Structure formats: C-alpha cells, structure tokens
Chains A and B, each alone.
Chain A
Amino acid sequence: MNKGYLTLVLHAHLPYVRHPEFEEFMEERWLFEAMTETYIPLLRSFESLENDGIPFRITMSITPPLMEMLEAKDLQEKYIRHLEKLIELSKKEVGRTRSEHPTKHKMARYYLKDFEETLVYFRDRVQSRLLEGFKHFQDNGFLEIITCNATHGFLPLMNRYPQAVKAQISQGVKTYEKYLGRKPSGIWLAECGYVKGVEKPLAEEGISFFFVDSHGLWYAENPPRYGVYRPVMTESGVFAFGRDPESSEQVWSGDIGYPGDFRYREFYRDVGFDREADYIAPYIDRSGARVNTGIKYHRVTGKNVELGKKDYYDVEEAHRVAYDHAQDFIGKKSAQVEALYDQFAGVQPIVVAPFDAELFGHWWFEGPKFIENLFRCMNETEILKPITPKAFIDDSLTSVQITTPADSTWGANGYNEVWINGSNDWIYPHLDEMAERMTRLANDFYDETDPVKIRALQQAMRELLLAQSSDWAFIMSTGTTVAYAVNRTKQHIVRFNELFEALYKGQIDEKCLEHYEWIDGIFSDPDYRLYAVR
C-alpha cells in the first residue's frame, strides 16, 4: 500500500562563464566537466530507465545561465574539441597503463569507451543540444524541469529592491519559455534563499511552487502540523515544499554518507596532476596550470588515507556498491514514510530531497548510477512512490495549511552569512547602486525608441544580472578561484556604470557596446522596463 512519496530534486546550475574572446578558457571547464560527468550520464541513466519501462519522476531545475550555455554554439563546438582531446589522452593512457597495472589498464579502457560514447551521444544522439535531451524526458512525463531566478541572484539580500527581484524572476521564466516552449510550474530559488515577499512576484509569474530549507518550514509564522512532510501555501497562493534533513544526511554525512564509501572513486587523484608535465601539457590548461582531466585511477580506499597511498579503483565493483546504496536508501525512505504515515494518522507524507545536480557524477562519480538504481528499487515497493511537486499538488492535496515560511537558505548555518561576510560584503554597495540606477534608467528611458539606446539599456540590464550571480560571493567566501570571481564582479560593475553614464550623456560608443554584447551576451532581448516604477 502506498504510504508516502519521494520527491528527488536536482538543482543543475553553473554561473555564466562563456569567453568567446578566448579559444580556450580554464573556467569553461566547469561546464565541460559537468557535461561529461553529470548531465550526459544522467541523461543516459534516464534513457536506460525509459527503455526498461521504469516509471521514474525527477524534478530538475536547470538554471537560465546553464540553459544559455548549453544552447551556445561556440561552447558546443568547444566541448566537442574538449572531448576529442580527452579521447586522444585516453588512447595514450590505454597504451601506457598496459605495463603499469591491470586494474589501471582496465579503467583506462573504460574511460576511452565512455568518452567515445559520450561524444557519440552528444554529437549524434542529441545534435549537441543537451536541453533537447532533457526536454524529451519532460515531454514523456518522467522529468519536471523547473526554472530558477535569472542569474542565480541571491534574493534574501536583494529584497530591498523589489524591481530587481521581479526582474530576476521574470527573466528566469522567460528563458525557460524560450527553450522549453511552455511556462515553468515551479522554481528553485537560488541557494534555496527564501525571504518573505518573494512569493508575490512568483505568483505574478504564474509559478505554482518553490522549495525552502527545513527550518524555513519549522520556524514558519504558523507552525506547520506536518513539519516538512507536507507542503504549505503562502498567502499569495504559491506552495512551499520543505527539505527533508534525513535524506541529505544520508548522502552528505561524513559518518553515514554514501559517497565516502571506500570502494568509490577518489576525486583528488587525477592524471592531470599525476602525470609528468611534458606528457600531460596538451591536455591541461595552456598556462601550464594543472587541472582535472576526469581520468582517475584510484578509490577512496579508507578514512584519512594519504592521496599517495590510495588503491586502484574498479568501476564494476563501485557500480555494485551504488546499487546496494540505492537499495539501502529506498529501504530507509520506505521505513521513514511508513512511520510518518502512522504518526499522521493516515495522511501521506512527501519526502523532499534536493541536491546539487553536479554532486552526482562530478563529485560522486557513481551518483548517476545511484539515481538510476533508486528508481529501479522504488519500482519494487508499493510503500513509496516517486512524485513531482506539481503532481502532488494536483492529485494528492485536498487541503493545505497557509503560512509564511521563515527567511532561510541552504547555505552554511542556514542563513545569509556565506553571501555576506568580510570577504565579499564590498559588492553590496555596488549591486544596490546598480539596482537603483537601473530603475532610474527604466523610468527615464521607458518609451525609448532609438535602437542603439535600447541595446545599451538591455546590456546594462545584462551586466546587472551577471553581477548579481550568487556564485561570485560564494566563491569569494570559499577561497578557490577568488581572483576570477572578483574580476568578474568588478567588470560587470564597471561596464554597467559606463553604459549608465553613456546613456545620460547621449554618447554611446557602438563599438564598445557591440563588444560587451559579445562577451556578456546572456539572454536575448531582455526587458529592461521590468525595473521601472510606474
């Protein structure tokens, strides 16, 4: 008997890193790695489930910048070149490992085959358009793709500027419609960042649901009877689903989390760092900086084992472990919903488990297999069923509690401190000033008809949106690739201010504008009038 539901939410996001002015750019590898290790393996897992007739249900946010990058021709071409290089390297590795170690050699052959299949999938199966791949599963009812606010701007620190929040949400919906041909049913708020009031622009855009972290529901204005295990409705009519803390712990925890299993692949040993310089040089960054290639021969091996003492990795064994872990997870979830069902006197709980999509595959190499097996195992039980929030609202919800969630995020300690602290607080005076200036521009140029001025206004909006990406503040907090994040933020601020001044002076340098449109070319035809106060 069906006693409850599981909603798996994958949040797929990368900041807009696209440098057409460079033939190769180190940070563009973030996208390529995510494509090879996460997005394509997920699609192949979906395909395998579809072929076997397993009815899976996944909710997946694909953020607007990620959609824009996946649809960018230049990045698609760069990715094919990237894969071809990787295949070339794998061929060399197959030859080299033959004399090194049999397990290593087996893995080298595995990588070669896997990268070749990846290339075929990308180039031939989906004609370089991964979004089409995802759309296929949405059309078949397996996948519910939702949107995210335009550039993953951090709304809890933006809400003093309601127009800026509205533009973030509205552009998020617009990009979704452009690529997927319909309105999104739901939204993932960047960093799961909820602040009272954002439900209003969501309602205006016809969005039906969003997610909050556990304490967003626990500490809601009126305490919810079922905790995080039933959605609530806000006064604006938009539903809020709360994260189940247990599911995350089973995946993330150091003690009981799955990805730390000793038989899984070790992330930090990669031939990009292990091989000698002249051999690896063509496959790492042109500056000589070492990077991950994705060819890794070692397994986690044990707790506190030095990187130099790791054992060799066997993918077949690891895939068996991923199956066992999926079975264990479904067992635990079934027991959880059974207990909740009794506690709730026969009301079915919904367990919401959101994760960064890139966790699966990129970080936890076997993750996409785990997800695939999750649905194979769930298909064997009657107790637990997969569901999307949309289907839950439409089919299962007859009455719902009304309340306002508490301000919350899924960042460290649950609030805003990752995005505002001594390392990154310098950005807010600029972001705030830009939001105010953008409103001034939208008011003063509301009925503008000069095409060059309209382009400058749209470009100013792009620079503001790009500067608002929560990724930059996040990177400044965590301390890796800080220079890139600082530089990106500064450049968007400076370009915005230049355009602002040029518009009021009536002196727009068209050559310069064209250059900015080329290097910061996110979103076609954005509506700058969203910022106006009428």
Chain B
Amino acid sequence: MSGELEKKSVEELKEMAKKVKIKGYYKMRKSELIEALSEEQTSNVDEESRKSILSEIEKNPKIYELRNIAKRLGITFQRNARKDELKERILRLLARPGLEIKRFGISSGPAPEKSVPVSSSSYVDLPSSYYRDTLQGLPVNPSWLSFYWDFSKQMSALVDRLSRENQPVMLRVYDVTFLIFNGSNAHRIWEYRINGKEKKYYVQVASPAASYLAEIGYYNEAGVFVPLLRSNLVKTPASSLSNRQEERWIDLAKHLRFTQTHISLVSQPTLLPTGLSSLSSEEMRSSFSSVLFSTGNAQKTISDKEPKE
C-alpha cells in the first residue's frame, strides 16, 4: 500500500502531507511521512466514502475511473492491471473489517486470534529523548563519522538559554590520533554550529585509521570554548596497506613467536575494498546481504505488451 508513496521524494510527500493537514509533517522523516500518509489514506475510508465508492463501482466505471479510485485508496497496482482485477482489489479493501491492520501495509490474514493488549498496537511512538547527557560517535567509513547527542532537561535549558543569548552551540571534532588528549592538543579541529532540533551530525574527516573525539560546547564572553559534553573515542577504519614493515609469527607446535621483515608475496590489491554487495551487477539487481528481502516482495512492472495468458 505504501509502495507508491515510497517512490516519491520527501518534498513531494511533505507537500501531500501539508494538503491533508498532517500535524508536524515538516519535521517528519520519509518513513514517518509514508506511515502518516498511508494511515490517512486508509482511515479516510469512512462509512460515507465507502458507500459512495460502492455505488460508483456498481455503475460499472471505466478503467481509468477505477484506477483513480484505487489510487485514492492507496492501492498499489501494476500499469497493466485489468479492470476486474482493480475492481476486486477495491472491493476487497472496502470489505476488510480491520482496516487498521493494514496500516503498515505488512500484515495479512485475519485479526489476531488472542486479544492484544493495547500497548502492542501496531502504531507506536518512540520517546524523542531519554533526557540524558550523551554524545556518541559512530564510524561510517574511512572518511565519515556520525555523531548524535541527547540532553538532560537541565542541559536543554542551558542550550536554549545560550541560543537565546546568541552564543552559538558548537560541535567540535578533534583528530587525536596517537595522542593523549588534554583538551586542546589535537592535530586538527573542526567546528560546526548545531541547532537545537536535529540531534545528529555527519562529519567528513581527513584520515582513515585515525582516532577522533568530539565535544559540544560554546564560546563564552572571553572567547574561550567551554565544553559541555565529550564523546567516546571513535576510529575510522583503515583503507590502505599498513606501513608496518614487521611480520609477527607463531610456530603453533612449539608455541614459539618470531618476527620477520615483511615480504609481500601477493600482488597489491587491484580491486578496491568494495565489499561484496557493491559489485555492480546488472543480474544482481539487489543488494547482497539478503537476497530475500530485496527480491521477495519486489514491485513488478511488466510491459504493457505482455501477451494475455
């Protein structure tokens, strides 16, 4: 049901959400927008529209009219879907007793056999904050890091006050590779102004196989950076041959360790370290990690010239 929506850009979805007056649409992620919109679309089938659609269908509508009804109901269909097929899909949707089950477009079958406690209903809201002071760094790849943070209520109040007083709150990232960090001795420092709403930031850094940490803080009147939170140490993965010239070995029978100067008996890797799934393959058409999700339920578009079976 949400298939059509997924093809749309975030901008288009926001536009749609605005039209149907979904609350807080402007700060929603794509997945949230799709959820809200598909919910909107199914919940729109109130008794009155149900009746009116049924009467439209009784009048034996043309294929394009059926397509419009189906679209209105958020039914995903193929371009070459036949008239009776569309009609059947529409009727089946209208006949469904528990439309809310279909909200995520995932479940099928009848309603749960056992009574379900309220808390496990399929629509759930996650806490927007755990009200704890934390700044976490996660490695994305050799040149990108991701940071997210969360504030306690006191910290939130402080950050709000700072921005009201035009003292910008900054995310500072330090390159501390092979250093014992003392608060200022980094190889390099990057600074980004952060706003109150987004609680994450992706940072491009200079080197692979390097260590970074970040602080959130502000400049006081004297122009001194005052840190409020410090992150964990986060390392970018290596992306080239190590320059160490030593090989360490162990004789497994004698449990004897020895070292040798490195000799490479293999040619330098010619393939980039791409990981299996990025091998571009026309035949693959799906990412590697799980062939089943990406193919099992894929939306098919069969040419209109398809011979009739």
Residue-wise interface mask of B (119-149) relative to A, using a CB-CB cutoff of 8 A (1 in contact, 0 not): 1101010110010101010111110101010
Q: At the interface, yes or no: B48 with Cβ under 8 Å from chain A? A: no
A416, B302: Cβ atoms under 8 Å? no
A287, B297: Cβ atoms under 8 Å? no
Rounded to whole Å, the gap between the CB of A170 and the closest CB of chain B is 23
Question: With A221-B242, A417-B144 in contact, is A519–B136 under 8 Å at CB?
Answer: no
- Contact stretch, chosen from B52-60, B159-167, B180-188, B276-284: B276-284
B114, A259: Cβ atoms under 8 Å? no
A277, B88: Cβ atoms under 8 Å? yes
Residue of B nearest to A272 (CB): B300
A415→B297 CA distance, assembly (Å): 27
Total B residues in contact with A, Cβ cutoff 8 Å: 111
Question: With A26-B106, A415-B142 in contact, is A220–B119 under 8 Å at CB?
Answer: no
B141, A417: Cβ atoms under 8 Å? yes
Q: At the interface, yes or no: A448 with Cβ under 8 Å from chain B? A: no
**Interface of B, helix, strand, loop or mixed by DSSP:** loop
A33, B279: Cβ atoms under 8 Å? no
User: Which residues, 242 to 270 on B, are CB-close (under 8 Å) to A?
Assistant: 242, 244, 246-253, 257, 262-266, 269
Residue of B nearest to A300 (CB): B283
B266, A219: Cβ atoms under 8 Å? no
- Contact stretch, chosen from B168-176, B189-197, B222-230, B233-241: B233-241
For B303, give its contact among A309, A344, A481 (CB under 8 Å).
A309
Interfacial chain B residues near A229, Cβ < 8 Å? 266
Rounded to whole Å, the gap between the CB of A500 and the closest CB of chain B is 11
Q: At the interface, yes or no: B109 with Cβ under 8 Å from chain A? A: yes
Question: With A474-B289, A482-B6, A515-B120 in contact, is A222–B303 under 8 Å at CB?
Answer: no
Question: With A219-B242, A406-B237, A425-B200 in contact, is A481–B106 under 8 Å at CB?
Answer: yes
Q: At the interface, yes or no: A207 with Cβ under 8 Å from chain B? A: no
Rounded to whole Å, the gap between the CB of B293 and the closest CB of chain A is 5
- Contact stretch, chosen from B16-24, B30-38, B213-221: B30-38
Residue-wise interface mask of A (336-373) relative to B, using a CB-CB cutoff of 8 A (1 in contact, 0 not): 00001001110000000000101100110000000000
Question: With A344-B265, A402-B248 in contact, is A411–B148 under 8 Å at CB?
Answer: no
Residue-wise interface mask of A (242-256) relative to B, using a CB-CB cutoff of 8 A (1 in contact, 0 not): 010100110011100
Interfacial chain A residues near B29, Cβ < 8 Å? 426
Rounded to whole Å, the gap between the CB of B100 and the closest CB of chain A is 13
B289, A358: Cβ atoms under 8 Å? no
A406→B82 CA distance, assembly (Å): 55
Residue of B nearest to A498 (CB): B119
Interfacial chain A residues near B284, Cβ < 8 Å? 252, 254, 257, 259
A18→B5 CA distance, assembly (Å): 27
Residue of B nearest to A482 (CB): B31
Interfacial chain A residues near B249, Cβ < 8 Å? 399-402
A288→B108 CA distance, assembly (Å): 9
A441→B5 CA distance, assembly (Å): 41
Residue-wise interface mask of A (77-96) relative to B, using a CB-CB cutoff of 8 A (1 in contact, 0 not): 00000000000000000000
Q: At the interface, yes or no: A120 with Cβ under 8 Å from chain B? A: no
Residue-wise interface mask of A (4-43) relative to B, using a CB-CB cutoff of 8 A (1 in contact, 0 not): 0000000001100001011111110110011000000000
Question: With A303-B282, A415-B237, A515-B114 in contact, is A289–B108 under 8 Å at CB?
Answer: yes
Q: At the interface, yes or no: A260 with Cβ under 8 Å from chain B? A: yes
Q: At the interface, yes or no: B85 with Cβ under 8 Å from chain A? A: yes
Q: At the interface, yes or no: A493 with Cβ under 8 Å from chain B? A: yes
Rounded to whole Å, the gap between the CB of B249 and the closest CB of chain A is 6
B290, A420: Cβ atoms under 8 Å? no
Interfacial chain A residues near B35, Cβ < 8 Å? 483, 486
A428, B273: Cβ atoms under 8 Å? no
For A474, give its contact among B273, B281, B287 (CB under 8 Å).
B287
Interfacial chain A residues near B283, Cβ < 8 Å? 254, 257, 259-260, 300
Question: With A22-B108, A486-B31 in contact, is A278–B84 under 8 Å at CB?
Answer: yes
A433, B130: Cβ atoms under 8 Å? yes
Interfacial chain B residues near A260, Cβ < 8 Å? 281-283
Interfacial chain B residues near A156, Cβ < 8 Å? 139
Interfacial chain B residues near A191, Cβ < 8 Å? 289
Give the residue among B104, B106, B249, B276 with the most A Cβ atoms within 10 A.
Answer: B276
Question: With A22-B109, A30-B293, A268-B298 in contact, is A487–B104 under 8 Å at CB?
Answer: yes
For B264, give its contact among A192, A225, A254 (CB under 8 Å).
A225
B31, A213: Cβ atoms under 8 Å? no
A497→B307 CA distance, assembly (Å): 54
B302, A273: Cβ atoms under 8 Å? yes
A474, B238: Cβ atoms under 8 Å? no
Question: With A306-B303, A515-B120 in contact, is A418–B289 under 8 Å at CB?
Answer: yes
A213, B273: Cβ atoms under 8 Å? yes
A495→B124 CA distance, assembly (Å): 10
Q: At the interface, yes or no: A308 with Cβ under 8 Å from chain B? A: yes
Rounded to whole Å, the gap between the CB of A281 and the closest CB of chain B is 8
Question: With A307-B303, A359-B291 in contact, is A222–B244 under 8 Å at CB?
Answer: yes
B296, A33: Cβ atoms under 8 Å? yes
List the 7 closest A-B pairs by CB distance, nearest first. Answer: A215-B273, A308-B303, A260-B283, A227-B266, A414-B275, A277-B85, A415-B141
A-B contact pairs, 15 of them (CB 8 A): A24-B108, A219-B239, A221-B244, A223-B262, A254-B279, A270-B300, A275-B309, A288-B92, A289-B108, A407-B238, A412-B287, A416-B139, A416-B141, A483-B2, A487-B124
- A260-B281, A417-B140 known, 6 other contacts, Cβ within 8 Å: A254-B280, A274-B306, A286-B109, A420-B146, A475-B293, A484-B104
